[in-house]
Amino acid sequence: MDKKNNKKVRETNIPASNTNKNKNMNKVHGQVFVFTKSLTVGELAKELNVNASEIIKKLFMQKKIVTINNYLDDDTIGEICLEFGYDFKKEEIIDEEDFEKIQIDDKPEDLKERPAVVTVMGHVDHGKTTLIDAIRNSNIAASEYGGISQEIGAYQKVVDGKKITFIDTPGHEAFSAMRSRGASVTDIVILVVASDDGVMPQTIEAIDHAKAAKVPIIVAINKMDVPGANPEKVINELMQHDVIAEKYGGDVMVCEISAKKKQGIKELLETVLVEAEMLELKANPNRYAIGTVLEAELDKGEGPKATLLVQNGTLYSSDYVVVGSTYGKVRRMTNEHKQILKEATPSTPVSVIGLNEVPLAGDHFMAFPTEKQAKDIAEKRKLKKINEERAQNSGVTSLENLYEKINEGQMTNINIIVKADTTGSAEAVKASLEKLNNDQVKINVIRSAAGAITESDVLLAGASGAIIYGFNVRPSALVRKKAEEEKIEIRTQKIIYALIEEVEAAIKGSMKKEKVENILGQAEVRNVFKISKVGEIAGCMVTDGLIKNTALVHVLRNGVIVYQGEIDSLKRFKDDAKEVKEGFECGIKIKNFNDVHEGDIIEAFEMIEKEDE
Ligand code: GDP
């Protein structure tokens, strides 16, 4: 045990050979020459401890003429090794920042059984949601939490003393969106088919998804309570899609249930356990955690918040993690009942706060022993992502020059980055924007995510020629300055309709001369004073620009607008002030708003007519 933090000494996930320092190591191990990159004749000779001229001679005999500085291909290196009595092996070195590609080989003695991770799929209205609710609220193992409201989209149930993890996202889009990002989290799919409706298009789609992911299916024939329920018909229809029930010699287990009447649920769960046992699902709890993001959002009070599924290893609170291309320290880890956990073993879903940015569902995560390592790797991943996205530079950097481009007659691409307060609204904005595509304009939403507008968004916009849209979120003063320097257009809107209308107008070349927000400055709330009959006064430090008593304000918490209104009074000490400049303290009372928090940013702005460029 590591006494200081009470954690076990765990195995790390990145082998020493993958750390950058040790990359490209070629070595003779006994009689095997292991190489990681192509070598020159001279280099190979040195490694094999032979004379370069001997290699040149051998190749000459094969009518290959080389000099000491020529690079040899892998096959030739292999041939030479064999000639000199060595076996050979080419090892691919994966960069440490591509950690999801690193093959983790646990020793059999380190592996422990882990709970199965189950996803429910099926045609619309066949009863997925009802089944998920029935399972969640079932009290099979007299577990004390049955029925208590749930905080995250994944949960565990104890059945016959064993845990099963359920992922709550019914619908195939979530499943395939995860898969398209290289994430596979599900061990078993429960395919819900309504007994009175049979196999339908989305049933077939679900079968295809499960097969593509090589995940076994358990069929739950639902609605067995309705008159006319015909399970045999369902079983026969499924056979046409290569889902063969056990009783017909196949390997698919079938349960008959009524999700609504809560019948057959226990048997279904027991079937899941049987399937899980056959799959021999195992993991090594004694290594740093690896897993996948199931969902993520920007919480107004707590900042970036993600539901992580630990797939191998154990995640401890206060571990350092790289998640997607962000990182952080696990500040608090809770289960679906909001209970605080100190550790999360394999197959446990947990809600985590402490990340620097909001990751995406399907992102991989890995825990690291030190903050420095986590930070370095996250930075490299971020850079890599930006470089990959850079390729798609559009040349349209402002909505105003969009119409000019369109008028040039060519198909115009426009790249947009959407940041919003929730993943849901980010996706809604993305979907609405992409609907505007026509044969003249193609809108590519190159990033849509929950969270404040960050420096990384500005970098990406710069690299790919994109416009940033903030939907109910804002950049910090620092990020705004950076965007100005880089000439990146940041637009903000609070209603989807207005945002879409604005882009539509830009496409048609009919953008109105509009009023825009002119940011005056920002102040950070250091103290909150509650004064009876008056309300809350925010004791602030002006950190940027100035605050005017006539200004309009946004109250920002973690970059999200939590309130918009006007200043009621602005004071320096006891006196009313017309304006307070950067570096000075002031008291701000916001009209009709009494929920200001310490750490909030009050952003002062006024509406002005937009100048022509
Ligand atoms: P989903 O679209 O697959 O998530 O389906 P829902 O769970 O929303 O269910 C669709 C409809 O079927 C709802 O009206 C449910 O009440 C009903 N339903 C679900 N399970 C059963 C069942 O076992 N028996 C009956 N009779 N109705 C059910």
Give per-residue pLDDT as tens, 477-501: 889 999 988 888 999 888 888 889 8
Percentage of the chain modeled with pLDDT above 70:
88
pLDDT at 4 over 60: no
Instruction: Choose which residue among 124, 205, 260 to substitute to test ligand 1 binding: the one with the highest number of ligand atoms within 8 A of its C-beta.
Output: 260
CA of 76 to the centre of ligand 1 (A): 64
Single out the residue of 452, 443, 445 nearest to residue 471, CA to CA: 452
Which is it for the CA torsion 70, 74, 76, 78, positive or negative?
Answer: positive
Contact 12, 366 (CB under 8 A): no
Residue 601 pLDDT > 50: yes
Q: What is the Cα–Cα distance from 118 to 136, expressed in whole angstroms?
A: 13
The least confident of 50-54, 394-398, 556-560 is 394-398
Q: What is the distance between the alpha carbons of residues 100 and 94, in angstroms, rounded to a whole number? A: 10
Query: Which of the listed residues 121, 130, 189 should we mutate to test ligand 1's pocket, taking the one with most ligand atoms within 8 A of CB?
Result: 130
In this predicted structure, what is the pLDDT of residue 534? 84
Note the helical H segments in 391-533.
Answer: 399-407, 423-434, 455-464, 477-485, 496-508
Tell me the per-residue pLDDT of 206-265, one tens digit each, with 9 for 90 and over: 898 888 888 999 999 999 999 989 999 999 999 999 999 999 999 999 999 999 999 999
Measured in Å, residue 459 CA sits from the centre of ligand 1 at 47
| pLDDT reported for residue 148 | 39
CB contact set of 537 (below 8 Å; sequence gap of 6+): 528, 529, 531, 587, 588, 589
The confidence score (pLDDT) of residue 613 equals: 43
Looking up tokens 């009494």, which residue turns up?
594
Question: Which residues face 167 on adjacent strands?
Answer: 119, 154
As a whole number, the mean pLDDT across the chain is: 86
Are residues 35 and 312 in contact, defined by beta-carbon separation less than 8 angstroms?
A: no
Q: What is the mean pLDDT of residues 149-176?
A: 76
- Checking if the pLDDT of 297 tops 90, the result is no
How does pLDDT run across 572-596, given as a tens digit for each residue?
Answer: 988 999 999 999 999 999 999 999 9
Report CA-CA distances (Å) from 119 to 169, 172, 603: 7, 10, 44
What pLDDT was estimated at residue 395?
65
Amino acid at site 40: T
Task: From 378, 380, 443, 381, select the one nearest 417 (Cα to Cα).
Answer: 443
Share of the chain above pLDDT 90, in %: 48
Which tokens is 299 given?
């919480």
* Per-residue CA distances from 291 to 98, 105, 167, 176 (Å): 14, 15, 14, 17
CA distance 608 to 515: 5
> pLDDT, tens digit, for every residue of 331-371?
999 998 889 999 999 999 999 999 999 998 888 999 999 99
Task: Work out which ligand 1 atom sits closest to the CA atom of 133.
Answer: 7
* Structure tokens belonging to residue 565: 């209104």
Q: Which range among 58-67, 137-146, 384-393 shows the weakest confidence by mean pLDDT?
A: 137-146
Give pLDDT, residue 6.
53
Q: How far is the CA of 229 from the centre of ligand 1 (A)?
A: 14
Each residue of 120-141: pLDDT tens digit? 998 889 999 899 889 987 654 3
Taking 3-state DSSP, the helix, strand and coil percentages for the chain, each rounded to the nearest 5, stand at 30, 35, 35
Residue nearest to atom 15 of ligand 1 (CA): 127
What was the pLDDT predicted at 146? 39
Sequence-separated (6 or more) residues with CB below 8 Å from residue 405: 395, 396, 412
Whether the predicted pLDDT of 507 surpasses 70: yes
Question: Is a pLDDT exceeding 50 seen at residue 150?
Answer: no
pLDDT confidence tier of residue 182, bands split at 50, 70 and 90:
low
User: 195 C-alpha to center of ligand 1: Å?
Assistant: 11
Distance from C-alpha of 264 to C-alpha of 258, rounded to nearest angstrom: 7
Q: Strand, helix or coil at 409?
A: coil
Q: What is the pLDDT of residues 420-454, one digit of tens each?
A: 988 888 888 998 998 888 877 888 888 888 888 98
Mean pLDDT within 277-299:
93
Q: State the pLDDT at residue 511.
A: 64
- Where do we find the tokens 């965007």? 483
Angle, helices 172-180/201-212, rounded to nearest 10 degrees = 30
Residue of the CA atom closest to atom 25 of ligand 1: 223
pLDDT of residue 36: 78
User: Where residue 315 falls among pLDDT bands split at 50, 70, 90?
Assistant: very high
Q: Any residues with CB less than 8 A from the CB of 111 and at least 6 apart, and which?
A: 282, 283, 284
Nearest CA to ligand 1 atom 11: 125
pLDDT value at 5 more than 80: no
Q: Whose CA is nearest to atom 14 of ligand 1?
A: 125
The residues, any chain, with a CB within 8 Å of residue 151's CB and separated by 6 or more, are: 334, 336, 337, 338, 351
For residues 81-100, average pLDDT = 84
Q: Residue type at 274?
A: V
**Cα 271 to middle of ligand 1, angstroms:** 21
Please give all residues whose beta carbon lies within 6 A of any atom in ligand 1, as ranges.
122, 124-130, 170, 222-223, 225-226, 258-260
Query: Which residues touch 523 (CB under 8 Å, ≥6 apart)?
Result: 538, 540, 541, 542, 543, 547, 580, 586, 588, 601, 602, 604
Instruction: Using the predicted structure, report yes or no on whether residue 412 has a pLDDT greater than 50.
Output: yes
Q: Dihedral through CA 156, CA 108, CA 27, CA 41, nearest 10?
A: -80
Checking if the pLDDT of 14 tops 70, the result is yes
By most ligand atoms within 8 Å of CB, the mutation choice from 119, 123, 125 for ligand 1 is 125
Distance CA 600, CA 537 (A): 13
**In the prediction, which pLDDT does 149 show?**
42
- What is the CA(124)–ligand 1 centre distance, in A? 9
